[in-house]
């Protein structure tokens, strides 16, 4: 049961909102928290009972470690810090071990077999949805707890922080303090019509991004990457652009929906997505894309490695390590390593200060950049580099990614573009296709081509406009706005029958 499902929209969410505000209105705050925990667990249970068991074990072990820290603090002995370091090590190893087993064990075994000619066999392991998100959240708590930066919470507070369903399966990676402080604030449990309307609008916009754009564009993407060895140059360009827009609308759509649901409950999630394709450098892009993952790696990996405090070359190495780990976080495969390394190299290039959109900045080898370019050019170059890097991100193997690049840079045109565009022969486009077909007897293949071009152009236009948060902040909820939201919701709702899962579910 995802956010983009009939069951969630028509049953789960209305029941939860009614129960939540009813209990809080009666000042039954503990019962309200228990309801939210139970509903969040049920939400996760719909993806598989085994997943729920793993989540429960993870919560139990991490909370038990926090209890041990509490016991150590109560004794106040000379060995306190030593014991806490031991608990930190156990906690980090447990969480990373859980992640390694479900996400990386098969990848590790395959590479051992390839390098050392061993015969290690690993049965197929089904990875729990969202394990990377709730595992990193709990690592942050255990590290902060043992570093005396986090208190010991009640079990229901900690459970609610971990299983809070708007962020559970696809982030953001929220820190304990920013969520639990909100859960403790009783004033946020009172129904706020303005906040609720903003949340509802955010949910509808996110749903429309997912259903009306990402899911439809995905048909072109899936077909294109399945036919890698047969594509021509123009088709490769179209497929690369389509995937760039698909992952944008898929991820930002989920963030909008999660933020909207949380706002309807009275809480604000940390910002995770802020118009990254408006970035004028790779460094800026990663300050806008998956922002909570970036801050996690900065706090718990980059800074402990020395950050930028141990010289220029160590800084470069630390940046590359962080981005390689970020690539591996997204998936167990060499394609993700290549993607992460490419992004890391682009960020290092920005740090060198050879070319920059800023006249002043903090560069590694110089005070001022050698060449300052217009921001518009910087945006175009950054976007192009990201489009190219996503070939690694989406391809099934490095070999297929390289095959895609060969077809991109060595021009061919055997006419595969029309076959790719024909995947847009779906019910959502029926009226539009009929309209084009009646215009002077346009060939069916031309109709498909025009349809694909329109989707790509509209997608490109939307990413240059205000993001959802900016739209909501500038909106007055008058009748015109309500009609617009209603139409957008109904249009998205009737298209849910062909909906697909979110891309980031696999991470």
Q: Which residues are catalytic?
A: 330
> DSSP letters along 403-462, please?
HHHHHHHS---SSTHHHHHGGG-SGGGHHHHHHHHTSS---HHHHHHHHHHHHHHHHHHH
Q: Which two tokens stand for residue 171?
A: 């982030």
Query: What is the number of other CB atoms lying within 10 angstroms of the CB of residue 123?
Result: 6
What single DSSP character describes residue 349? H
Q: Which phi and psi (to 5°) does residue 78 adopt?
A: -70, -20
Query: Alpha helices, DSSP H only, in 46-164?
Result: 49-75, 80-99, 105-116, 131-146, 155-163
Q: Which two tokens stand for residue 352?
A: 């060198």
- Spatial separation of the C-alpha atoms in residues 395 and 400, rounded to whole Å: 6
- Spatial separation of the C-alpha atoms in residues 314 and 133, rounded to whole Å: 28
Query: Alpha helices, DSSP H only, in 266-366?
Result: 282-285, 291-297, 312-330, 334-352
CA angle at 428 for the pair 424 and 432, rounded to the nearest 5°: 80
Q: Do residues 137 and 300 make contact, with C-beta atoms less than 8 angstroms apart?
A: no
Helix (H, G, I), strand (E, B) or coil at 65: helix
Q: What is the bridge-based pairing of β-strands 355-356 and 371-372?
A: parallel
Query: Alpha helices, DSSP H only, in 209-298?
Result: 215-226, 233-265, 282-285, 291-297
- Spatial separation of the C-alpha atoms in residues 451 and 457, rounded to whole Å: 10
Evaluated on CA atoms 205, 207, 211, 213, the torsion sign reads positive
- Spatial separation of the C-alpha atoms in residues 92 and 98, rounded to whole Å: 10
- Spatial separation of the C-alpha atoms in residues 140 and 344, rounded to whole Å: 23
Helix (H, G, I), strand (E, B) or coil at 255: helix
- Spatial separation of the C-alpha atoms in residues 371 and 353, rounded to whole Å: 8
- Spatial separation of the C-alpha atoms in residues 436 and 410, rounded to whole Å: 33
> DSSP letters along 143-183, please?
HHHHTT-SPPPPHHHHHHHHH-HHHHTT-----HHHHHHHH
Of the candidates 281, 408, 390, 254, which has an alpha carbon nearest to the alpha carbon of residue 327?
390
């Amino acid at each position: 049961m995802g956010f983009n499902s009939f069951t969630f929209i028509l049953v789960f969410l209305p029941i939860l909102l009614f129960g939540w505000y009813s209990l809080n209105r009666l000042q039954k705050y503990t019962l309200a928290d228990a309801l939210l925990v139970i509903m969040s667990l049920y939400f996760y249970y719909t993806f598989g009972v085994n997943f729920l068991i793993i989540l429960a074990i993870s919560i139990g072990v991490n909370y038990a470690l926090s209890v041990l820290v509490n016991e150590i603090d109560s004794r106040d002995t000379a060995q306190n810090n030593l014991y806490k370091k031991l608990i930190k090590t156990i906690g980090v190893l447990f969480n990373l071990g859980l992640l390694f087993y479900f996400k990386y064990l098969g990848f590790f075994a395959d590479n051992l077999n390839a390098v050392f000619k061993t015969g290690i066999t690993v049965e197929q392991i089904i990875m729990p949805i969202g394990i990377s998100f709730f595992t990193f959240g709990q690592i942050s708590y255990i590290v902060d707890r043992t570093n005396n930066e986090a208190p010991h919470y009640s079990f229901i507070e900690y459970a609610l922080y971990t299983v809070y369903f708007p962020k559970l399966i696809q982030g953001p990676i929220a820190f304990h303090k920013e969520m639990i402080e909100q859960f403790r604030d009783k004033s946020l449990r009172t129904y706020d019509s303005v906040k609720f309307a903003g949340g509802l609008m955010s949910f509808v916009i996110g749903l429309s991004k997912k259903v009306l754009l990402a899911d439809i564009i995905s048909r072109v993407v899936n077909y294109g990457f399945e036919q890698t060895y047969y594509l021509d140059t123009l088709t490769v360009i179209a497929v690369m652009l389509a995937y760039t827009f698909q992952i944008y609308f898929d991820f930002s759509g989920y963030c909008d929906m999660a933020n909207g649901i949380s706002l309807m409950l009275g809480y604000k999630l940390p910002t995770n997505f802020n118009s990254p394709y408006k970035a004028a450098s790779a460094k800026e892009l990663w300050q806008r894309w998956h922002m909570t993952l970036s801050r996690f790696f900065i706090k718990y990996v980059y800074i402990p490695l020395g950050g930028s405090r141990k010289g220029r070359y160590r800084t470069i190495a630390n940046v590359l390590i962080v981005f390689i780990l970020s690539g591996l976080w997204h998936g167990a495969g060499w394609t993700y390593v290549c993607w992460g390394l490419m992004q890391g190299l682009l960020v290092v290039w920005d740090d060198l200060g050879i070319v920059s959109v800023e006249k002043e900045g903090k560069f590694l080898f110089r005070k001022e950049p050698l060449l300052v370019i217009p921001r518009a050019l910087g945006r175009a170059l950054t976007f192009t580099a990201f489009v190219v890097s996503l070939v690694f991100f989406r391809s099934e193997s490095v070999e297929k990614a390289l095959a895609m690049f060969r077809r991109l840079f060595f021009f061919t045109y055997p006419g595969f573009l029309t076959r790719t565009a024909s995947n847009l022969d779906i019910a959502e486009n029926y009226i539009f296709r009929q309209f084009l077909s009646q215009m002077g007897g346009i060939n069916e293949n031309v109709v498909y081509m025009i349809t694909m071009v329109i989707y790509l152009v509209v997608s490109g236009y939307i990413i240059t406009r205000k993001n959802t948060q900016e739209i909501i902040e500038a909106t007055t909820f008058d009748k015109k706005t309500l009609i617009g939201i209603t139409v957008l919701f109904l249009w998205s709702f009737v298209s849910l029958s062909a909906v697909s899962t979110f891309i980031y579910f696999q991470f």
